[in-house]
Structure 1
Amino acid sequence: MLSYIHAYHAGNHADIIKHAALSLVIEALKKKDKPFTIIDTHAGSGIYRIDDERLRKTNEFVAGAIADAGIPEIKSYADTARKYAESGEYPGSPALESELMRDCDELILSELHPRAIEELRAAAERFPHKPRIHFRDGYETAIALTPPKTKRGICVIDPSYEDAGDFEKCAETIVKIRKRWPAGIIALWYPLVAHRIMEISMMKERIRAASQKGEPDILDVQLEMRSPAEMTGLASLYGSGMFIVNFPYTIDEKISAAMPKIAETLSARSWSVDTL
């Protein structure tokens, strides 16, 4: 069991790879004047206090290093993280999405955890662009609300992976979304844990097999902080990845350019960017 609850891990290496990739996708969508929709299925609390007792308990916060690293490819993410840090805070994906989107775009958030949903509603009052918030299972939200009214957009899936079933649910949900919303981009965060290698592999293969294009359209980004051999116990997170389905043009080049600098800043063991 991993039980990756956002409030305990805000601003750690997993958040950094997720938010760096997410910011690049949003910036790519903004290159066209047409509006887009962002659906965030497991939104969390939205904004996190750096001195929160939950965050202090894990002591994993490293986002400050990225904010000051001067990595040009992820400048919009770094600037947003720096802005919130001035108030002793870190922006979760909903806050980042709201900061980077435009007035014509739409943000839809879903969260099922009782404490997180209340924190999310309070945080959303401060967002520059107000979202629609659903107190609902994230997988159900993703399927029910796709395709959105606008054909362009991204669905962000970032569950807690409390058990092996979450990997299967992610694959099943993404396959259904692809059928309902062929033009949509899907960004899936996943943990790297030694005892779930089989589940991760099967999840990826099922998603890849459902591709509706004849050429590679999935980007798989990984950041390893430690060797899997060092982290063999239950819930031992040695890194994380982003699976970006139907990725925008040139995103692979920009992520590939940013990852060596991200890895160096975080003293990571290794990184990889693959197209599938």
Structure 2
Amino acid sequence: MFSYRHAFHAGNHADVLKHTTLIALMKYLTQKDTALTVIDTHAGAGLYRLDGDYTETSGEAQEGVFRLLSEPKAPPAQAPRAQAAPKTVAKPAAAKPASTAAAGWAPALQDYIGILRGLNPQFAETGDVAHLKIYPGSPFIEQQFLSGRDKLKLFELHPTDYKSLSGNIEQLGVGRQVAVAREDGFEALKTFLPPPARRAMVLCDPSYEMKSDYGRVATCMADAVKRFATGTYVVWYPIIPRPEAHDLPRKLKTLAVKASRSWLNATLTVKSSKLTTDTSGEVIRPGLPASGMFVINPPHTLKAELQAALPQMVALLGQDRNAGFTLEHGG
């Protein structure tokens, strides 16, 4: 149960999608004067070293955030529009001088890169990805947008990650604004809905290490919407050759439609999911080829932000001709 460590995956292509979306959500939701309660059901360690043993062992950040930012690549000057249902493939952009890159980023990706710069002063000063050492998990992204009236509830069961998370949050000196608990986030969520100020955002992104996680996510979201229909509910999910993985977004869409709530589903594919073999005939597993973000009650601004950002993610993170994205919405 505790074999999964996000440190192996920090900064991968799924994190780029997840955190770009999360930043756009937090930026919008914290603009209002009314207090916001943010609940992170599977918080992880909060901060990760991109030059640490875990990340360097997996190499996933190299195909994620480092690939996104490495020279001489730059975002497309004009991003193509997404299609609602079928997969839309954005072709890689031609290389551009690094000096022109900043002007071409979609606003949501500019905000994502801004968060990275804030945690990595040398990277901010030089633009050299060799100085990109610290990567924020969702708790640190969420906390950076909070005002004094807002609250952040973090749940993490893994004993080592819970200890790291507690220490990382303590260093922020934010007092009672951020609460960390070693509890099952699926169950703990029930005690906080509805929130006192009637405004909440919930991020649910378990490891999906166990097949039962898929069913628990769907059940958890159904219960949450029943308890507090107007909250913003955000689910990250992997797209892998497993029936449960493909059923989850369909279940979430059905849930939203039945509850008469608006919804948005964004996916990012970077490579084929097919197994291949090397010269000796040994099977090579592709790793995670794609992931998605499903949002119930999304802000009205989110669709346009992702329409601009997703083609750039495909152009810079895509590894083969199967790379593409989808962006669906309804309600």
1:54 offset after TM fit, Å? 1.0
**Equivalent residue for 1:237?**
288
Q: Does the 8 Å contact 1:95/1:127 carry over to 2?
A: no
2:84 alignment partner in structure 1: none
| Counterpart Cα distance in 2 of 1:146 and 1:56 | 39
Q: Does 1:55 align with 2:55?
A: yes
| Aligned residues of 2:25 and 2:302 also touching (Cα < 8 A) | yes
4+ runs deviating over 4 angstroms: 64-69, 212-216, 230-235
Aligned amino acid, residue 79 of structure 1: G
Equivalent-residue separation in structure 2 for 1:144 and 1:233 (angstroms): 44
Matches within 5 A, 1:69-218: 70=102, 71=105, 72-86=107-121, 88-127=133-172, 129=174, 130-194=177-241, 196=242, 198-211=243-256, 217-218=262-263
Given residue 63 of structure 1, which amino acid in structure 2 is its aligned partner?
V
CA distance in 2, matches of 1:9, 1:103: 32
Q: C-alpha distance in 2, partners of 1:116/1:4?
A: 10
**Are the aligned partners of 1:7 and 1:55 in contact in 2 as well (CA < 8 Å)?**
yes
Shift of residue 98, structure 1, vs aligned partner: 0.8
d(CA) in 2 for partners of 1:45, 1:221: 25
Structure 2: gaps of 5 or more residues: 71-100, 123-132, 277-282
Q: Secondary structure at the match of 1:95?
A: helix
* Deviation by residue 1:127-177 (Cα, 9 ceiling, x = unmatched): 364510111011112222222212112100010101211100000000000
SS at match of 1:228: coil
Structure 2 residue 63 is the aligned partner of structure 1 residue 16: no
Cα 1:236–1:84, aligned 2, differ >3 Å: closer, same or farther? same
Asked if structure 1 preserves the Cα contact closer than 8 Å seen for 2:274 and 2:286, the reply is no
Contact 1:67/1:79, CA 8 A, preserved across alignment: no
**Residues in 2 aligned to 1:266 and 1:157: alpha-carbon distance in whole angstroms:** 24
**Which has the bigger relative contact order, CA under 8 A and spacing at least 6?**
2
1:27 aligns with 2:27: yes
Give me the CA root mean square deviation. 2.4
Paired-residue identity, %: 32
Question: 1:243 deviation in Å?
Answer: 0.6
**SS of the counterpart of 1:211?**
helix
Larger CA Rg, structure 1 vs 2: 2
Equivalent AA in structure 2 for residue 159 of structure 1: P
Per the TM alignment, residue 241 of structure 1 is displaced from its structure 2 partner at its CA by 0.7
Please, which moves more after superposition, 64-73 or 180-189? 64-73
- What is the number of equivalent residue pairs in this alignment? 273
Letter paired with 2:316: T
